[in-house]
Structure 1
Amino acid sequence: MSPDISNPPDPSEDFMLPEGLIMVGIRSYTYLIQNFVRKKHLIVPDEDGLTQDNIRSCRTEADIYYILGEHPRVAKCLSIGPDKDYVDLEYYPNGNLKQYVDNNRAQITEADLKRWAHQMIESMAYIHSKGVIHSDIRLDQWLLDESFNARICDFNASGFDAQPDLGLEKRPANGLENASHFLPREPELDNTVQTDLFALGSSLYELVTGRRPYEELDDESIELLFQKETFPDTETLLFGDIISGCWKQKFHSAEEILDSPEWEVTRGAV
């Protein structure tokens, strides 16, 4: 099911007032409007070029929600502006996975971690099956719905393969992950399934440890360690083999992770 472009939610006239603004990102504003969230391109005063880039990013995100349609592992898109200048998403009051885990670590069970890890990997498998590369994967890119299930979001730095049925040409992703989630490569190279999977490994590390890989180090130091394939020890961690396998590029798809012997031990609890 694709988002509705002709019948957007009907917000009150004051939705653009500052009190409705809940976040200012690199590329977009996010507003809470009644019971849904609107993401609209960021306007950069006196920087028309940057503003135009942000408009293109918003249109990319809108196109990706068309490509992905409705899926239980993806944030639900309710509608899209007629010019693709905003997207309206379902509001999830449980927040994102990183916030929830950080704030409730003592109450979270191993079964919870296994379920969320499975859903994170499943969401990656789904978007990649649709030709979408996220390019900015980290733990706070999954929202928790009303049933506390993880849904991936935030596609304004993403890219996708050509979509002839939708009349869309290939659009390379333009995001760069945080140093702790960045597969060493030349920054000008296109993001790929492999770069997403590397970042997935770091996100799973965040999930089980409550911190980013090498969180205590600066970005340059992390980059040098990753270039040498020197990664944090995962031997005793839940999902340790999966995390290490993502960092060492053992897996070539998220589906391969779910089918791997390393994942088999967790399947009975998800």
Structure 2
Amino acid sequence: MNSVYCPIDDEGHYIQLHTIIASGDAALVAHRDDMAIKMAIVYANYTLEEVEENRSKIRREQEVWRRIQPDFETPVEGIVQCLDLPGDTIEMKYMSGGTLSKWLEHRARPSIQLQKRWFRQLAIGLHNLHQRRVIHSDILSRNILLDGSLNVAICDLGASSIMPIDTIMANAVDEYNCSIWTDLCQLGLVFYEIATGRMTSISLYDNGGSDNAVARFPSRDMLPALGKRLWARDIIETCWREGGYGAAGAAGILAKLDKLHVPRRRRR
């Protein structure tokens, strides 16, 4: 392959295309040994300005990781473990199960027991982000990874915002109008995909032709209908009400899960 079309890593080496496991507008993730390494997309024909623009986005995300996980030896529950931040890269634990979106697309619907486990793990992860005064802003099933034991964890902090450490998160919005409530709304959409097997394409930035850089909490009629017999109906509906979980935030999901009785499926 022409080297012009082969990306270059942080040390100036060409990246083997078969090692790339994810790629976006400005960054890619390559699999090396037991790590997933996120780095800026750089090609041989890029100008210095293009290189710096993409690398600056990695450095911005590094700051988010430093807020969330200052000790690389101590992972944060519900969030993919960061192993190191060398140069303009982010080294993370490799999650062999791939993305939740692909898992849901290609597998049978998970059991209710597994669904509840995923709900709990994701709620804990989001709660831990908010406790560290970080708004994720991009909670989507493609930004959730599974390990080999089917545990889920939140990843991709490239769109996240760091708030001042004394911020009252229930009242806070970032420069894009994202908040813990928009995070919870997005988490509710992920829960919907898990519980129903139906994928959604709803975006907080679909604003009928207005400035798409600014998020809007969607009205209820923009969100999917929920069947009355859906076991997670109340959890999801509360995610879809702005401020629905009150001062508890994402921790309120855990309280609902603890109180929830899900009838076992009858054996045939």
TM-score range, shorter chain: 0.7 to 0.9
Question: Aligned letter for 1:194?
Answer: W
The match for 1:118 is 120
Among candidates 220, 245, 252, match of residue 251 of structure 1: 245
1:55-134 mapped onto 2 (5 Å cutoff)? 55-69=55-69, 70-82=75-87, 85-105=88-108, 108-134=110-136
Q: TM-score, normalised by structure 1?
A: 0.73
Q: Give the drift of 1:225.
A: 11
> Quick check: 2:101–2:141 contact (8 Å CA) kept in 1?
yes
The match for 2:5 is none
Among candidates 200, 216, 222, match of residue 187 of structure 2: 200
2:80 is paired with a residue whose SS is: coil
Q: Give the drift of 1:228.
A: 6.0
**CA spacing shift, 1:53–1:210, aligned 2, 3 Å:** farther
1:231-270 mapped onto 2 (5 Å cutoff)? 231-234=223-226, 235-249=228-242, 250-252=244-246, 253-260=249-256, 264-265=259-260
**CA spacing shift, 1:145–1:161, aligned 2, 3 Å:** same
The match for 2:150 is 148
Question: Aligned letter for 1:25?
Answer: G
Whole-Å separation in 2 of the counterparts to 1:230 and 1:156: 26
> Quick check: 2:20–2:30 contact (8 Å CA) kept in 1?
yes
2:185 is paired with a residue whose SS is: helix
> Quick check: 1:60–1:158 contact (8 Å CA) kept in 2?
no
Question: Aligned letter for 1:238?
Answer: W
Q: CA RMSD in A?
A: 3.4
Percent pairwise identity: 24
**CA spacing shift, 1:59–1:13, aligned 2, 3 Å:** closer
Q: Give the drift of 1:147.
A: 2.4
Q: Give the drift of 1:131.
A: 0.5
> Quick check: 1:120–1:150 contact (8 Å CA) kept in 2?
yes
**CA spacing shift, 1:268–1:40, aligned 2, 3 Å:** farther
**CA spacing shift, 1:191–1:109, aligned 2, 3 Å:** same
**CA spacing shift, 1:71–1:47, aligned 2, 3 Å:** same
User: Which string of whole-angstrom CA distances, capped at 9 and with x for unpartnered residues, describes residues 82-109 of structure 1?
Assistant: 3xx1101111111122222322215x21
> Quick check: 1:77–1:90 contact (8 Å CA) kept in 2?
yes
- Unpaired runs of at least 5, structure 1: 1-10, 165-171, 174-187
Question: Aligned letter for 1:134?
Answer: H
> Quick check: 1:75–1:89 contact (8 Å CA) kept in 2?
yes
Q: Give the drift of 1:158.
A: 0.6
Whole-Å separation in 2 of the counterparts to 1:97 and 1:244: 21
> Quick check: 2:77–2:124 contact (8 Å CA) kept in 1?
no
Question: Aligned letter for 1:257?
Answer: I
The alignment covers a number of residue pairs equal to 230
Q: Give the drift of 1:21.
A: 2.3
Whole-Å separation in 1 of the counterparts to 2:141 and 2:37: 21
The match for 1:22 is 21
**CA spacing shift, 1:228–1:91, aligned 2, 3 Å:** closer
2:98 is paired with a residue whose SS is: coil
- Unpaired runs of at least 5, structure 2: 1-9, 70-74, 167-172, 209-214
> Quick check: 1:15–1:31 contact (8 Å CA) kept in 2?
no
2:164 is paired with a residue whose SS is: coil
Q: Give the drift of 1:128.
A: 0.4
With 148-157 and 235-244 compared, the bigger mean Cα shift is at 235-244
Whole-Å separation in 2 of the counterparts to 1:81 and 1:94: 25
**CA spacing shift, 1:268–1:51, aligned 2, 3 Å:** farther
Q: Give the drift of 1:110.
A: 1.1
User: Which string of whole-angstrom CA distances, capped at 9 and with x for unpartnered residues, describes residues 174-199 of structure 1?
Assistant: xxxxxxxxxxxxxx643111110111
2:84 is paired with a residue whose SS is: strand
Q: Give the drift of 1:230.
A: 4.9
